[in-house]
Structure formats: C-alpha cells, structure tokens
Amino acid sequence: MAHIIGLTGGIASGKSTIASFFKDSGFPVIETDQIAKTILQPGSDAFNAVVKHFGEEILLSEGIINRKALGERIFKDERERDILNQIVHPEVRTITQSKADVLKKEGHAIIVIDVPLLFEAGFDQDVDLTLVISVPKEIQIERLMARDGIEKAYALKKINAQMPLKEKRKRADFVIDNRGSILDTKNQFNELLKALKEA
Ligand SMILES: Nc1ncnc2c1ncn2[C@@H]1O[C@H](COP(=O)(O)OP(=O)(O)OP(=O)(O)O)[C@@H](O)[C@H]1O
Ligand SMILES: [Mg+2]
C-alpha cells in the first residue's frame, strides 16, 4: 500500500532541503509551491481572481504577478492572506491529489507532498503520515533573513503568520530537528527512512 507523507514545517525550516533528500533517495515529491505558482500564470481563473481583488498594481510590467509585492500585501493583513488562500488552495489541493493518484497507480510505495500550510489548510486530512521539519525560532529567523535578504521585523511577521512550530510538532507523526548541520539532519532522515520501511 502507498503511504502519502505530508512534509511540512515553518517558513525556512528546511522543507525543501529534506524534500531533496527524498528525491535523491528516489522518492517522488510533489511541490505544492510549484503548483501554486503554475496556477497563477496569466489568464488562469486564479490569476484573474487575484488581479480582480488586489488590483493591477499587483502586476509587473510584463503582466505577471509580482510575487514580492503580493507577499508584502498578504503579510501585512491577515484578511488579505485568507482571501489569497481561498483563491489558491482549493485548486492546489485538487491538482496535488490527482498527481498523487497518478504516482500511486505507477506503484510508488512512498509519495511525499511538500505543503507549507499542511495543518493550517486542513491538507493533513489528505495524507497518511505527517513529517514536520522543526528548528528553534532564532535559527529560523537567521536562515530566513539570510536566504531572502530581509529585515528581522519582516522575517518575524512571516513566521508569526503561521501556526507555531511547537503546535505543528505536537500534531506530527514524525519530526526532524534541522537546527544542526546538514549531515546531522541527513542522519535523522536516514533513521526516518528505516522507520518508514518498517511501517
Ligand atoms: N541544517 C541546515 N544548516 C544550515 N542551513 C540550512 C540547513 N537546512 C536548511 N538550511 C538553509 O536554510 C534555508 C531554508 O531552507 P529550505 O529552503 O530548505 O526551507 P523551506 O522550509 O523549504 O523554506 P520555505 O518555507 O521558504 O519553502 C536555505 O537557505 C537552506 O539552504
Ligand atoms: Mg521550500
């Protein structure tokens, strides 16, 4: 039987890093961020709904969505964030499910879905097991600031817009603590693979 694993965590906690470990080990990974980007291509229903709500000022001169500007709008205002999520999430969920079905039919025993808002969006209902990538807040802030070149205040805003990692850890079937070196995290990943193979 196939196991669908919902891979989540906080912003910049290391989801994509662990997703690449799964890929390197030959497991298929569905990236919901990529799906969300795809469905916001110019001309789609989701694109039109975003422009209708957020206005043309959300577009770059080439007519594509200015993701940075959209990000700033939604992290300033929780209601705006909810509206964007309502536009994007249902379609992301449907596309993810159909991709997972195809992979199941192909006979994959383990299928990984990278979903930043797994618990917040109720996506955990669609998966068999949940894996949370966790880091202490101070490290999360540092890595987010370094990766995105943003100020501490904005990094904190983004972090605080999500369910606290402590709460996610409580709900998780498995937790990887990504505070240490990549090698340390890789070792935890290898232990997890062993446990999954036994499950
Ligand atoms: N163990 C680690 N040690 C040092 N740096 C790390 C470690 N794990 C991840 N990073 C770095 O931290 C940043 C965030 O990691 P990653 O992109 O995997 O997080 P993410 O959870 O996928 O982020 P997002 O929420 O934006 O999708 C990256 O720059 C990555 O290279
Ligand atoms: Mg990522």
How much distance in Å is there from the Cα of 14 to the middle of ligand 2? Answer: 7
The backbone torsions φ and ψ at residue 3, rounded to the nearest 5 degrees and listed phi first, read -110, 125
| Locus of tokens 């039919």 | 105
pLDDT at residue 1 in the model: 67
Q: What residue owns the CA closest to ligand 1's atom 7? A: 182
Q: What is the mean pLDDT of each run of 10 residues along the chain (199 residues)?
A: 92 98 98 96 95 96 95 92 95 96 96 96 95 98 97 95 96 98 98 90
How much distance in Å is there from the Cα of 61 to the middle of ligand 1? Answer: 31
pTM of the model: 0.94
Round to whole Å and give the CA distance between 10 and 118. 10
**Ligand 1 site residues, Cβ closer than 6 angstroms:** 9, 11-17, 116, 143, 147, 178, 181-182, 185
Question: In terms of Cα–Cα distance, which of 34, 19, 3, 9 is closest to 117?
Answer: 9
pLDDT at residue 198 in the model: 83
Question: In terms of Cα–Cα distance, which of 27, 32, 30 is closest to 193?
Answer: 27
How much distance in Å is there from the Cα of 169 to the middle of ligand 1? Answer: 18
Q: What residue owns the CA closest to ligand 1's atom 31? A: 17
Q: Which domains occur in the chain, in start order? A: 3-198 (3.40.50.300)
Which stretches does DSSP call E strand in 76-191? 110-114, 129-134, 174-177
